[in-house]
Structure 1
Amino acid sequence: MSKAIDFRPIILAGGSGTRFWPRSRRARAKQVLALDGERTMIQRTVDRLAPLAKREEIWVITNDLLSPAICGQLDVVPDEQVVCEPAARNTAPAAGLAAFLVERINPDAVLGIFPADHVITDEAAFLSVLEHGIKIAAAAENIVVLGVTPTRPETGYGYIETGSALDDGSLRVRRFTEKPNRERAEAFVAAGNYHWNSGIFVWSARTLANAIREHLSETAPILEEIAAAYGTPEFRKVFEKLYPRCENISVDYAVLEPRSAKGEHHSSLYCLPANFGWNDLGSWAALYEHQLEQANMADKYENVTESAGSMPLDAHGNYVYSPRKFVALVGVEDLVVVETDDAILITTRHHSQDVGKIVKQLATNGREELI
């Protein structure tokens, strides 16, 4: 990648990861857990970006509950660049704030927006595609999204419909579609010009800041005022007062969908097709499927167990996490069993997307110690 391009990764790490309860809690959410190996999700995110960005170029947007764990795990990122939101306002204000902060330093800097909790198995391919996207974003006021070639009609992901191809291998974006039903997902895969939305976006600080000014006209001045206070003694006070006034909306809905409505030849939206072993690990079932694909992670009956020993008897397709206990599986299939010090989750892989509902119910019942 050209040395002239100032690339700054923005890692979004404010989510609560409720679908990974009971391991994931408010103060130790999915992104600070080691769900897939010894390194935590956010550590692995930073690790894979290291070839393209220096430590002082990385920013993390999170919250006060998670910042102690994140700062402890990311000793390579300056603490002052771990920015703690005083209120959850989804990805558009978080990404927008990063854009306004960096715009004040270098408006031509290229920002990469990265979720903190995704798995990428082919890091060489990831870096190659990302470098390509950085060059496209630096060339003009372009917005680049990395689109994953779908391997199945997944209803849990957003989709990108692509149009004409350009000489550099990128595709023009026609529209974004949020999580479709099964019938539509099957039609998307059959059509051949749809990609999963990876949630990874590349654009210059100026491009994103201007997009927020255009599409979130009430939120943009708030973010600019917060960014202007950064580095002063008043920053936290200003942040806490103003940020909750921002619109609660994703960057997809706020910026990408209205941009795509301009038409593929006028939106400056580009998709780079990517095949680098991407998985957003959105549920226990997704983690099971990911680990099933990894060598030596499952037995011959496709049971994945992380325990102090296990014995399956007429059991098939189960996921079990019980690191300090021996687990016997007898005559069961497609279960998810997760044990922690204070809770046990028992569900099916089919219903694992509903685990977040338990967290909401616990909050309603006043069981704060469990969330």
Structure 2
Amino acid sequence: MKAIILAGGRGTRYWPLSVQRKPKQFTNLHSYKTMIQETYDRFRKWLPMENIYVVTTKEYYSLVTEQLPELNEQQIIIEPEPKDTGPCVALTAIHFLKQNDDEVLVMAPSDQYISDGDALMEYLLVAEKVAQKGTSIVTLGVTPNRPETGYGYIEGMKDGMNEGEVLRVKSFIEKPSLDKAEKLLQMENIFWNSGIFIWKPSTIAYYMQKNQQTIWKMLNENQWEERYSQLPKISVDYAILEHAEDVYTLPVTFEWDDLGSWNSLERILQVDKEGNLLLGDVHSSFTQNCTILSKNRKTLVIGAENLIIVVTDDGVLVCDKSKENEIKKFVQKFSDDKM
């Protein structure tokens, strides 16, 4: 098995800690290591170094080599510019197929929290056996513990497979409304889509040729790098998964979080008796239920409630927790220079 770490995202929800020149996967968000280093170490515990690859954009190549100096050039797959996960996954498959290498790949985001790396390994070994068969795709599914509106969901069903608790995917469910999320929580065989996929390069090729012929053809042409900007932005969910017939999910029991927003940090880090999460040189008084991070400067917060406050050299964010979803929309209106 090979591990492919997807590290080309921008992480705009974490502005101003995450900015275009250094997005969140290259920051130490909740430990002394950066998120991509934690992801690499998680795989390195049980995979040889030469079996771990990173896919990133040209813009972040130097950050990858700086933070993961163990990797050689052949282990860093370069996407000319971000086009979402569909083209990125296809490009990765082509990289290995050109070397006549059809070993199973586990593709994982670089910015997730996973509580138990050993348990992850055990699940991936089960998933690998399924992924080796035909054109099977395996996802890791997380049992929901709250009505989450920020994740996609998977509905599974049993179909007689013998590889552990693997379920056939009946449907993928888009990020739901709160009402729908609460109903999903009451159903059986419903899981969060972890975004971790296990499959062979030839499986990716099969589904891309079947469902995304234009993208696949262009990526296999000699001048594909010059034409990459013409490709549509499309997620792997839309490009492949929602059209595939042999998709399975393996329910996992370890703690998982995609750390997609500031509020998610409260789920993995301890808050104080006032409900505050204080990171950096932060001091608070008469303050409740706030997430406050300060980089490289002393920060005093007095009389605040239900706020996200972030202070870095790139800017200052003050946001009501209930409006957190507006951060990405607002940041996207501006370039980093204007911010």
Q: Pick the TM interval, shorter chain.
A: over 0.9
Q: Kindly indicate whether the alpha-carbon contact (under 8 Å) linking 2:154 and 2:173 is maintained by their aligned counterparts in 1.
A: yes
- Aligned counterparts of 1:28 and 1:177: Cα–Cα separation in 2: 32
Render the CA deviation track for 1:94-134: whole Å, top value 9, x for unaligned: 01111111122234310111111111111121111111111
Matched, 1:345 2:335: no
- What is the deviation of 1:43? 0.8
Render the CA deviation track for 1:11-41: whole Å, top value 9, x for unaligned: 1111111111111111100110110101111
Matched, 1:72 2:50: no
Equivalent residue for 1:40? 34
Match of 1:27 among 2, 9, 21: 21
- Aligned counterparts of 1:328 and 1:73: Cα–Cα separation in 2: 32
- Aligned counterparts of 2:133 and 2:324: Cα–Cα separation in 1: 43
- What is the deviation of 1:248? 1.7
Q: Kindly indicate whether the alpha-carbon contact (under 8 Å) linking 2:282 and 2:293 is maintained by their aligned counterparts in 1.
A: no
Code of the residue aligned with 1:358 in structure 2: it is F
Q: Which runs of 5+ in 2 are unaligned?
A: none
Structure-1-length-normalised TM-score: 0.86
Equivalent residue for 2:196? 200
Matched, 1:273 2:251: yes
Q: Which runs of 5+ in 1 are unaligned?
A: 1-6, 227-237, 260-266, 293-297
Render the CA deviation track for 1:263-289: whole Å, top value 9, x for unaligned: xxxx22110001221111111111233
- What is the deviation of 1:309? 4.5
- Aligned counterparts of 1:351 and 1:173: Cα–Cα separation in 2: 33
Q: How does 1:302-321 map to 2 (within 5 A)?
A: 302-313=275-286, 315-321=287-293
Q: Kindly indicate whether the alpha-carbon contact (under 8 Å) linking 2:119 and 2:254 is maintained by their aligned counterparts in 1.
A: yes
- What is the deviation of 1:84? 2.5
Q: Kindly indicate whether the alpha-carbon contact (under 8 Å) linking 2:295 and 2:313 is maintained by their aligned counterparts in 1.
A: no
Equivalent residue for 1:211? 207
Matched, 1:104 2:98: yes
- What is the deviation of 1:10? 1.6
- Aligned counterparts of 1:342 and 1:25: Cα–Cα separation in 2: 8
RMSD: 1.7
- What is the deviation of 1:186? 1.0
Equivalent residue for 2:227? 242
Structure-2-length-normalised TM-score: 0.94
Q: Kindly indicate whether the alpha-carbon contact (under 8 Å) linking 1:26 and 1:66 is maintained by their aligned counterparts in 2.
A: no
Determine what percentage of the aligned residue pairs are the same residue.
36
- Aligned counterparts of 2:316 and 2:212: Cα–Cα separation in 1: 42
Equivalent residue for 1:222? 218
Moved more, 239-248 or 70-79: 239-248
